[in-house]
Structure formats: structure tokens, C-alpha cells
Amino acid sequence: MSANSSHPAIPTGLRKVMQGSRVSLSLADFTQPDCPLVAVNDRFCDLSGYGQDEVLGRNCRFLQPTGGAGPVRDRMRAFLKDADQKDGKFLIPNIRRNGKRFLNLVYMSKLYRGGQVALVLGSQFSVQPDDRRKTDVYDAALLEDLQVMKDILGETAMVLLGSYESLASSHSIIAQARLEGIDGED
């Protein structure tokens, strides 16, 4: 995983969680104009085909097709502006670096510092119609990541099991704990 090493908003513990994940994860700085990516893990690069050096400092919208992603883009913007919504799920058309189109199931979670949104954690998954086997693999990878994160955080970890939303939401809970330094790491 790579993160802008000079970016003060990313605690070491959060970097470790992202690095060890088998799920595609990204982290955007909500406090900066256009919410640029400040960290992505290797799974994100595998999914998108882009290298970390090509991604950091850019908004995720560069993955959208020419002309944008349609109405889902407006829903994503509304989610980011709505202070009451902490988590959101979106199915968005994206294009890999090699030009191949795919549907990206994106879970976004707002991470808070000092009561204000500081970062947005994204979890991405390439969706193919009627491919339940792949979604089962995604579930298994999230479950494994959550167990590792639980072991790292000990009793402070809150782990939710079950649906995609619960599993992806668990990543955000763990990340929020790391951001707040609950386990003592900064």
C-alpha cells in the first residue's frame, strides 16, 4: 500500500490495516478540494490497473467513463454532502487503465476526526451479473480482514458480520478506531 508519506491525516495503524487487506481499499482526504486519494492498497491497483503513483492526488472520478457515470454520480455527491449519512453503497460504471469497462460496487464510509469528516474510506468490488461465486470470495476476504483487524485492535474492535453492507461497514469502523488512535497507535 502506498500513502502520501507526508500526509498527516493517516495514522500508522490505519496504513497497516489498509496494507494488510485483501479487499480493494482507497482513502480520500475530505478536507482537501476535490477529495483527492491519499492512500490506496495493492488490491485497488489490481482492480483498476493503475499504479499508486498514477492515482494518489486524484479524485476517484478519473475511473468513470467519458461523460461521467450518470445519475449515480449525483447520489454519491449527495451522500458526501449529507452530514447524517455516514455510509453509502453505489454501483458505478468504471474503466480500468487498459480500457476495459466494469461495474464497481463501491462502499464509502466517512471517517471523523474532531467531530468533522476527515477522510472517506472506499471499498471496491468488480461486479459481474449472476456471479455469486465472486461475491462469496469477496465476503470471505472481508471476513478474514475483519478477523485480522480484530486481533490487531483487541477489545476495541467492533465487528459486524453478515451482508456486504455490514462487512464493508466493519472496515470503516476499524478504520475510524485507527484514526482516533483508540489502540494507542498514531
- The domain that holds 45 is classified in CATH as 3.30.450.20
Domain that holds residue 20: 2-179
pLDDT for 165 equals: 47
0.75 exceeded by the pTM?
Answer: no
* Residue ranges for the chain with pLDDT beneath 70: 1-9, 128-186
SS3 of residue 95 by DSSP: strand
Q: Which residues contact 165 (CB under 8 A, 6 or more apart)?
A: 87, 89, 107
142 lies in some domain: yes
185 lies in some domain: no
How many domains are contained in the chain? 1
pLDDT for 153 equals: 41
pLDDT for 181 equals: 54
Q: Which residues contact 131 (CB under 8 A, 6 or more apart)?
A: none
pLDDT for 4 equals: 43
184 lies in some domain: no
pLDDT for 154 equals: 43
pLDDT for 41 equals: 94
User: How far apart, in whole angstroms, are the C-alpha atoms of residue 133 and residue 112?
Assistant: 34
Cell of 11: 495514522
118 lies in some domain: yes
pLDDT for 182 equals: 45
